[in-house]
Amino acid sequence: MIRSMSRRGNCYDNACIESFHSILKRELIYRTKFQTQKEAQNQLFRYIEFFYNRKRIHSKLGYLSPDRFEELYYSNLALAN
C-alpha cells in the first residue's frame, strides 16, 4: 500500500483511511499468506464486505456491530411511532 496525501505533505487529511488500512493490515494481511493474487483479492473482499462492514464492532457505534446497530435503530424507530 502507498500512503496518499490530499495536500502536499499533509497525510493527516487522510487519517480515516489510514486508520482503516492499519486495521486491515493488522487483522488480515499480516496474518495470512496468500497463494495467488486472486486469493488475496477474494479474501480482501470477504473481509471488507462480510466482516468489517457488518460484524466487526465499531467504537463510534457504541461498540456494536453495524448489523446490530441498524437492528436497534429500526426497532427504536418502530417503538417511537
Q: What are the distances in angstroms from CA 34 to CA 39, 75, 80?
A: 6, 41, 49
Say how far apart CA 50 and CA 33 lie, in whole Å: 20
Residue 63 grid cell:
461498540
Q: Do 27 and 47 meet the contact criterion of CB atoms below 8 Å apart?
A: yes
Give the other-Cβ count within 10 Å of 29's Cβ: 15
pLDDT of residue 5: 58
pLDDT of residue 18: 85
Residue boundaries of the structural domains of the chain: 1-31, 37-81
Each residue of 1-58: pLDDT tens digit? 566 556 666 666 778 888 889 999 999 999 999 999 999 999 999 999 988 888 899 8
Longest dimension (CA), the chain: 53
Of the two residues 15 and 78, the one the predictor is more confident about is 78
pLDDT of residue 81: 79
